[in-house]
Structure 1
Amino acid sequence: MAICFILYAFLTLLFALSLTLSLSIINARKSRKRAVGFFHPYTNDGGGGERVLWCAVKAIQEETPDLDCIVFTGDHDSSSDSLARRAVDRFGVHLLSPPKVIHLNKRKWIEERTYPHFTMIGQSLGSVYLAWEALRKFTPFYYVDTSGYAFTYPLARLFGCKVVCYTHYPTISLDMISRVRQRNSMYNNDASIAKSNWLSTCKVVYYRAFSWLYGMVGSCTHLAMVNSSWTKSHIEVLWRIPERIRRVYPPCDTSGLQKLPLKRSSDPPVFISVAQFRPEKAHMLQLEAFSLALEKLGPDVPRPKLQFVGSCRNEPDEERLQKLKDRAVELKIDGDVEFYKNAMYRELVALLGNAVAGMHGMIDEHFGISVVEYMAAGAIPIAHNSAGPKMDIVLEEDGQRTGFLAETVEEYAEAIVEVVKMSETERLKMAESARKRAMRFSEQQFSEDFKTAIRPVFTCAVK
């Protein structure tokens, strides 16, 4: 009898909870606003994803000026005016009007440190909770995800939203599953797991289950824009909605950077590395390669300088930056390496204008905005030989080389040495070809492609 009573109480509670949630969703659907809501919990990360956010906001303001643009953010110190100023100061993007802001209080549920284990599924489910808070506070007619939280799409549809996403990279990819199966140790596959056949098998099962769930929720979007050929190929396999997927290259500041003169001082030759101080950006590999290159260069060759430019999102990023500085001291090249943390846009442009080459080290970088910025600025790219840089960016232009692709420390070092030993004529020829290719990835091109992609969805806007 007691068990029956407990079961009855549980079912009654579950029914009451379901009824409450249903009523909340029904009320929210009825109160939808003629607005576009951008789900972007981190509006201070300073990376390419944030640039996409502001360029997307501007494109929608131009395309549908009668619709308000709302930004859902977990940064409590952000206001409409401060975000508009940030778009200009950090990225050079001038919005037509400041976006409205909805502050979120539950952002800790999508933070990596909240889930020491099973991080992907934890963050994904946490994003649903965060989106619930967002949509309860404000329900827009259009829900635009620019941060890659695919698990929020079914919820947004329940709230009656048209769902649009800009996917920078798949949360899980076939490459990730393959690396775990092959037991390769990387930043997203701990060495202790890679060494164990049993743990690797368990992780493969987990990844396969997650990829199935990811495909289910991803297919709920009305329109999926992806940033590269590599991302497009993976999303098509995972989400199985090829008719709703459009490749829209991300916006790169090619117009402003192309104004920089191609001729620049090579005394000393400056190499620049622009990336957030995250583990996947492989700063340490670049530092080791630079140290090796210095050993290879003879005394008669100008000694180059390496500049790391990037932002820190949190304490782990700060720790990575400090380890990088410490390693430079250990290698006895700290006098040849400079660090610029959270640099403003103007400072970044000035640094790019003085660099002869740009370093990039991330494996399977979905696109590689920094690589395009190097090319537009006249800095020869030395990028990782995979994904975006390999498939879309560092390709020949009119039969001319536009940069270097590398994988190992030795290959990066060889590319650095080759750039340093280049004649001015050779460097200018390659830099000019690279700049011409970079024009394919301009902010103007992004705006045009973005507007073309959203028009079929936005034509059904509420009158």
Structure 2
Amino acid sequence: MAIVILIWSLITALVASIVTLASHIINARRNRKRAVGFFHPYTNDGGGGERVLWCAVKAIQEESPDLHCIVYTGDHDASPESLTARAIDRFGVKLLHPPQVVHLNRRKWIEESTYPHFTMIGQSFGSIYLSWEALCKFTPLYYFDTSGYAFTYPLARLFGCIVVCYTHYPTISLDMLSRVRGRSSMYNNDALIARSIWLSRCKIIYYTFFSWMYGFVGSCAHLAMVNSSWTRSHIEKLWRIPDRIKRVYPPCDTSGLQALPLERPTERPAIISVAQFRPEKAHTLQLKAFSVAIKKLDQDLPRPKLQFVGSCRNKSDEERLQNLKDKAVELKVDGDVEFHKNVMYRDLVKLLGGAVAGIHSMIDEHFGISVVEYMAAGAIPIAHNSAGPKMDIVLEEDGQQTGFLAQNAEEYADAILKIIRMPVTERLTMAAAARQRASRFSEQRFYEDFKTAIRPVLCHSTK
């Protein structure tokens, strides 16, 4: 009898929960506002994703002035005024008017530290919970994900939203699966797992199951904008909605940076590295390559300096930055390395304007905004020989080389030395070609392609 009562209680509780959830969704659908809700829990990350957010908000404001723009953020100090000021100060993006802000209290459910194991699937399911909070607080006609939380799309559709996304990179890619099969150790494949056949097989099953789920939830998007040829190829294979996928290169500040003079100080050549202090950005590889270059440097050549410029999102990033400083001391190059954390946009432009080269080392960087910024600013890029930089960016322009591609410390060091050894005229010729190439990825080009992609969705909803 007790078991029957327990089962009945569980069934009753389940039914009550379903009814409650259904009533929330029904009420939310009835109260949908003619607005665009931008799901971007971290509005202070300072990276290329945040630039896309503000440019997307501005593009919507220009294309459909009658649509209100809402930003869902987990940053409790964010206000319409502070976010508007941040868009200008950090990225030079002037919004037509301040966006409305909806504060989220459950952002911890998408934080990496919440899931020591099975991080990817934990964050994905956590994003559903966070999106539930967002949509219950404010239900827009358009749900626009600019942070890559594809698992929120089915929920947004249940709330009656038209789902649009800008995908910077797939949460899981076919390359990740191949690395696990090949038992390669990386930041997203622990060395312990890579060494074990059994653990690797288990992870392959996990990744395969996750990729299937990712494909299902991603297919719920009405429109998916992707930032590069590499990302598009993976998303098309995983989501299988090729007719709803549009490649829109991310907005890069090419016009402002192109105004910088190509001539640079030569007494102490500066090599700049612009990237958030995240593990996949592989800053340590850059530091090792710089150390190798210093050791190989000809005595009659000027000694270069390496400038790390980036933002820290959390404590883990802060620790990563400190470890990088310690590594510079260990490699005995700390006197040649500078660290610039959370700099303002105008300060970033000044640093770019003084650099002869820009270094980038993330494997399978989906696009590489920083690489384009180097090129536009007149700094010759040294980028990783994969994905976005290889397929879209560091290509010849009118038959002229625009930069270098590398894969390991030795190759990066050789590229650094080649640039330092270049005659001024040769460097200026390459820098000019790189600048011309960068104009293909301008902020204006983003606005044009973005509006072209989203216009049919906006027009269809009004019919």
TM above 0.5 = yes
Distance 2:171 2:414 in 1: 33
Residue 205 (structure 1) aligns with: 205
Q: Deviations over 1:378-430 (max 9, x none)?
A: 00000000000000000000000000000010000000000000000000000
Q: Deviations over 1:212-237 (max 9, x none)?
A: 00000000000000000000000000
- 1:11 to partner: Cα distance: 1.2
Distance 2:210 2:328 in 1: 39
Q: Does structure 2 conserve the Cα–Cα contact (< 8 Å) formed by 1:34 and 1:462?
A: no
Partner of 1:416: helix, strand, or coil?
A: helix
Residue 130 (structure 1) aligns with: 130
Partner of 2:445: helix, strand, or coil?
A: helix
Distance 1:31 1:406 in 2: 53
- 1:3 to partner: Cα distance: 2.0
Q: Is 2:163 aligned against 1:143? A: no
Distance 1:155 1:226 in 2: 21
Residue 185 (structure 2) aligns with: 185
Q: Is 2:257 aligned against 1:257? A: yes
Equivalent residue runs for 1:411-430 within 5 Å: 411-430=411-430
Partner of 2:169: helix, strand, or coil?
A: coil
- 1:462 to partner: Cα distance: 4.7
Deviating beyond 4 angstroms after TM superposition, the runs of 4 or more aligned structure 1 residues are none
Distance 1:350 1:339 in 2: 15
Distance 2:282 2:444 in 1: 30
Residue 9 (structure 1) aligns with: 9
Equivalent residue runs for 1:268-347 within 5 Å: 268-347=268-347
Paired AA for residue 263 in structure 1: E
Residue 55 (structure 1) aligns with: 55
Q: Is 2:384 aligned against 1:384? A: yes
Distance 1:315 1:19 in 2: 40
Equivalent residue runs for 1:104-253 within 5 Å: 104-253=104-253
- 1:282 to partner: Cα distance: 0.6
- 1:84 to partner: Cα distance: 0.1
Q: Is 2:392 aligned against 1:396? A: no
Partner of 2:355: helix, strand, or coil?
A: coil
Q: Is 2:364 aligned against 1:367? A: no
Q: Deviations over 1:157-203 (max 9, x none)?
A: 00000000000000000000110111111001111111111111100
Equivalent residue runs for 1:62-77 within 5 Å: 62-77=62-77
Count of aligned pairs: 463
- 1:10 to partner: Cα distance: 1.1
Distance 2:90 2:71 in 1: 17
Distance 1:53 1:193 in 2: 36
Distance 1:8 1:330 in 2: 65
Of 316-325 and 375-384, deviating more is 316-325
**Unpaired segments of 5 or more residues in structure 2?**
none
- 1:14 to partner: Cα distance: 0.8
Partner of 1:26: helix, strand, or coil?
A: helix
Partner of 2:176: helix, strand, or coil?
A: helix
Distance 2:159 2:100 in 1: 20
Residue 101 (structure 1) aligns with: 101
Paired AA for residue 357 in structure 1: A
Distance 2:76 2:423 in 1: 51
Partner of 2:163: helix, strand, or coil?
A: strand
Q: Does structure 2 conserve the Cα–Cα contact (< 8 Å) formed by 1:187 and 1:280?
A: yes
**Unpaired segments of 5 or more residues in structure 1?**
none
- 1:460 to partner: Cα distance: 2.9
Paired AA for residue 392 in structure 2: D
Partner of 2:430: helix, strand, or coil?
A: helix
- 1:5 to partner: Cα distance: 2.1
Paired AA for residue 409 in structure 2: V
Alignment RMSD (CA, Å): 0.7
Distance 2:151 2:287 in 1: 37
- 1:16 to partner: Cα distance: 1.0
- 1:241 to partner: Cα distance: 0.3
Residue 90 (structure 2) aligns with: 90
Residue 407 (structure 1) aligns with: 407
- 1:4 to partner: Cα distance: 2.1
Identity of aligned residues (%): 76
Partner of 2:188: helix, strand, or coil?
A: coil
- 1:265 to partner: Cα distance: 1.1
Distance 2:462 2:453 in 1: 19
- 1:2 to partner: Cα distance: 2.3
- 1:13 to partner: Cα distance: 1.2
Distance 1:324 1:110 in 2: 26
Residue 44 (structure 2) aligns with: 44
- 1:330 to partner: Cα distance: 1.2
Partner of 1:460: helix, strand, or coil?
A: helix
Q: Does structure 2 conserve the Cα–Cα contact (< 8 Å) formed by 1:110 and 1:122?
A: yes
Equivalent residue runs for 1:435-450 within 5 Å: 435-450=435-450
Distance 1:266 1:431 in 2: 15
Partner of 1:301: helix, strand, or coil?
A: coil
Distance 1:241 1:329 in 2: 50
- 1:337 to partner: Cα distance: 0.5
Residue 355 (structure 2) aligns with: 355
Distance 1:76 1:289 in 2: 40
Distance 1:300 1:13 in 2: 79
- 1:321 to partner: Cα distance: 0.7
Distance 1:334 1:293 in 2: 14
